[in-house]
Amino acid sequence: MGFQQRPAKPLLEVERLRKTFAHADSAAVERVSLALGEGELLALLGPSGCGKTTTLRMIGGFEVPDEGRVLFNGQDITHLTPEARGIGFVFQDYALFPHLSVLDNVKFGLRKLTRAAAKARAEEMLALVGLEELGKRRPHQLSGGQQQRVALARALAVSPQLILLDEPFSNLDAKMRVETRQEVRKLLKSTGSAGILVTHDQEEALALADRIAVMDKGRVVQFGTPDEIYSNPVSEFVANFIGRSNILRGTANGMSVRTAFGDLPMSRAANGAVDLAVRPEQIMLEPDPLGSATIIGREFRGHDQIYWVQEGDDCMIVISGPGAQYQIGTRVQLRICDCVVPLRAG
């Protein structure tokens, strides 16, 4: 189910981290375990308050866990200060120094180098993020996206093996977010730095990460590649947090399940009563005056359309291509044209 997967040579291992804040009813982070290989990009994904930032802060050394360990290159760093860990950070507000030029911001971590070498390295990093022309400016003279890239250049200048990114795109508009996240992925892949990204945006996690840890109420509920998590969510929570899903009831018998839509193949074996996740794009909608279902809502999205369809007691969401458009009230027949996913109870 993806929990046991470990990179061949872990760069970072997080073992059963736990953190309870004073006066809290429950733990903010509860037995979180993760492993990350060299150069790998991991997203911590989950709703607000699920413990993503607290997990990241324990990895970075800004928060001390009550229990558990953080191993970096095989060394126990659980109680080291952030500076002693050699891990880079990019925070939500970028934390650039307002009184320093862009170039001096990037040079900041390079004090061990000679002045000339530090300047050359900072210029190289600015060129890498496409801001070589803007080195003399102050942060307030840059757009949000440009400030974001300066923060990244500053963090990458010291060639960290690992960089932690806490909602780094939150100040950018929708178009800029999409562009910047691809740039960041390319940049990290080209420098070979591993990264951990905290986000509540499933699209961002799917687009950027090699693997995703989905968190809920302080726990990692699923850990796997974007494809595994999208195609094989383990629970209703994951199925609905990563995209949309219809949840159907069925009676499973090995790799097949009996449902109101007939006998369907399943993505993994199960037996007895099961809940099943069906993606809206896995359902075909055919107009049929004698059909058992009725369109009760629709949303035009340009490249496709969403329909809400009443079938008996169930309301199903169906996504279909831009071609045919159906009016509300149209009688249709629904057909499920792919494997369905049995979900874990609870």
Interacting residues with ligand ATP (CB under 6 A): 21, 24, 28, 46, 48-54, 200
Nearest approach in angstroms of CB 90 to ligand ATP is: 15
User: At 32, is the secondary structure helix, strand, or coil?
Assistant: strand
Nearest approach in angstroms of CB 200 to ligand ATP is: 5
Pick the closer one to ligand ATP by CB: 50 or 334.
50
Residue showing tokens 């492993």: 35
Pick the closer one to ligand ATP by CB: 14 or 293.
14
For residue 63, count other CB atoms closer than 10 A to its CB.
17
- Chain CA centroid to CA 213, Å: 7
Alpha-carbon Rg for the chain, nearest whole angstrom, is: 24
Nearest approach in angstroms of CB 57 to ligand ATP is: 7
Alpha helix segments (H runs only) across 108-143: 115-128
Pick the closer one to ligand ATP by CB: 24 or 116.
24
Nearest approach in angstroms of CB 63 to ligand ATP is: 8
Nearest approach in angstroms of CB 235 to ligand ATP is: 18
Nearest approach in angstroms of CB 26 to ligand ATP is: 8
Beta partners for 265?
256
Task: For residue 56, give the nearest of 168, 157, 156 by alpha carbon.
Answer: 168
> Residue 337: CA atoms inside 13 Å, Cβ hemisphere, count?
13
Nearest approach in angstroms of CB 49 to ligand ATP is: 4
Task: For residue 336, give the nearest of 259, 273, 267 by alpha carbon.
Answer: 259
State the SS3 of 148-181: HHHHHHHHHHCCCCEEEEECCCCCCCHHHHHHHH
User: How many whole angstroms separate alpha carbon 217 and alpha carbon 332?
Assistant: 40
Pick the closer one to ligand ATP by CB: 205 or 276.
205
> Is there a contact between 315 and 232 (Cβ–Cβ < 8 Å)?
no
Question: b/e per residue, 100-110, with b = 16+ CB within 10 A?
Answer: ebbbbbbbebb
Pick the closer one to ligand ATP by CB: 123 or 216.
216
Pick the closer one to ligand ATP by CB: 47 or 297.
47
Pick the closer one to ligand ATP by CB: 49 or 130.
49
> Is there a contact between 340 and 276 (Cβ–Cβ < 8 Å)?
yes
